[in-house]
């Protein structure tokens, strides 16, 4: 689909581009950068005719173009798609991994190939819940459903697998560190409360460790290159805070100020975040980790932005999800422009 049919694209300013995706009763649930643009996962809005449906689109802010990669199924039910960011063997951003959790079919891996994953990984009594892809040996990690969740790793499609951990609650977030040495995951331990854990992918080293617990929100780009720390939003209290948590046996936290979402920039020295402006509307901001109080506001939308944000692999674009009248959207803001409007 061309941008004209899938999305209405408007220039909010000289530096900001807004994609209004023409799909009623959907919302932007997840997003992952690839070499060609931002891949967004669209979920049907609860209690709407699209409630059980998912779809995937590609947005290209430089070209002002949008394309539908995976259309929603006709009628209720159908595939239950998910996406995971992926890296090539040399550490560069690859096309995101796309899978149907319902049929346990991997549509595309990091090299653009598809196929069924090893059937013995998940017996028919289990269902996929989440997945992540890493650069190291094209490793892939899955979380299964059921009463007890298993987090399972395999190095390549169709190869042997091993269980890294078992947890009792749903897995809400699952990612490799960019160097492939660590797996981070968050699992639900109570209503809206998750426990963020880290574990090595090397079977000969220590097991998993708990980094932080609470109403934690994590973005796709939350982990430092070497897995030494992670940034997150802690929504436990009314004054939600952004924190940097080091990956250590006794983790410590560094407060980065107020906000509801945070994502690292590729330089690992700055971050994008969502925080309220002086009118109380959530907007996108940019700041350095060593000076978090000196934020630069990037968006000035009348109703603010939604809950997802991130920075492009080249550091030139920051994005945030938006939602107006049950119609999804994404705003992109250039970081290499200084004019404020």
What pLDDT score was predicted for residue 316? 95
CB hemisphere CA count around 208 (13 angstroms): 18
Q: Which residue has the higher pLDDT, 37 or 179?
A: 37
Percent pLDDT > 90 in the chain is 43
Residues 6 or more apart whose Cβ sits within 8 Å of residue 117? 104, 105, 106, 140, 142, 154, 157, 158
pLDDT at residue 145 tops 60? yes
What pLDDT score was predicted for residue 340? 45
**DSSP for 186-218, written as a single string:** EEEEETTEEEEEEEES-TTS---EEEEEESEE-
Residue pLDDT, tens place only, 316-327:
999 999 986 567
What pLDDT score was predicted for residue 140? 76
Closest CA to 137 of 116, 159, 152: 159
What pLDDT score was predicted for residue 162? 78
CB hemisphere CA count around 297 (13 angstroms): 14
pLDDT at residue 214 tops 70? yes
Q: 211 phi and psi, to 5 degrees?
A: -100, -40
Q: Which residue has the higher pLDDT, 339 or 126?
A: 126
What pLDDT score was predicted for residue 341? 41
What pLDDT score was predicted for residue 40? 94
What is the pLDDT averaged over residues 119-143? Answer: 67
pLDDT band at 89 (very low <50, low <70, confident <90, very high): low
């Amino acid at each position: 689909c061309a941008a004209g049919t899938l999305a209405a694209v408007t220039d909010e300013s000289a530096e900001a581009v807004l994609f209004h995706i023409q799909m009623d009763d959907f919302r932007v649930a997840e997003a992952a950068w690839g070499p060609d643009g931002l891949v967004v996962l669209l979920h049907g809005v609860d209690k709407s005719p699209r409630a059980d449906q998912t779809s995937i689109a590609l947005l290209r802010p430089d070209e002002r173009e949008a394309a539908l990669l995976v259309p929603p199924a006709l009628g209720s039910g159908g595939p239950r798609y998910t996406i995971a960011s992926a890296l090539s063997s040399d550490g560069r951003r690859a096309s995101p991994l796309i899978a149907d959790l319902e049929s346990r079919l991997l549509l595309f891996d990091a090299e653009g190939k598809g196929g069924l994953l090893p059937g013995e990984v998940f017996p028919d009594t289990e269902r996929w819940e989440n997945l992540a892809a890493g650069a190291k040996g094209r490793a892939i990690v899955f979380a299964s459903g059921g009463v007890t969740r298993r987090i399972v790793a395999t190095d390549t499609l169709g190869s042997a697998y091993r269980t890294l951990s078992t947890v009792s609650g749903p897995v809400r977030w699952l990612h490799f560190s960019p160097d492939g040495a660590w797996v981070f995951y968050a699992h639900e331990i109570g209503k809206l409360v998750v426990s963020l854990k880290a574990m090595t992918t090397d079977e000969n080293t220590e097991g998993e460790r708990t980094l932080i617990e609470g109403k934690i929100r994590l973005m796709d780009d939350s982990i430092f290159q070497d897995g030494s720390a992670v940034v997150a939003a802690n929504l436990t209290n009314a004054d939600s805070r952004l924190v940097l948590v080091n990956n250590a046996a006794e983790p410590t936290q560094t407060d980065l100020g107020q906000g509801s979402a945070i994502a690292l920039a590729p330089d690992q020295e700055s971050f994008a975040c969502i925080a309220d402006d002086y009118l109380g509307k959530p907007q996108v901001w940019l700041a350095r980790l060593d000076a978090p109080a000196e934020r630069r506001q990037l968006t000035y939308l009348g109703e603010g932005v939604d809950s997802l944000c991130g920075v492009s692999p080249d550091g030139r674009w920051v994005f945030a999800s938006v939602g107006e009248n049950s119609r999804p959207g994404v705003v992109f803001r250039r970081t290499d422009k200084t004019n404020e409007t």
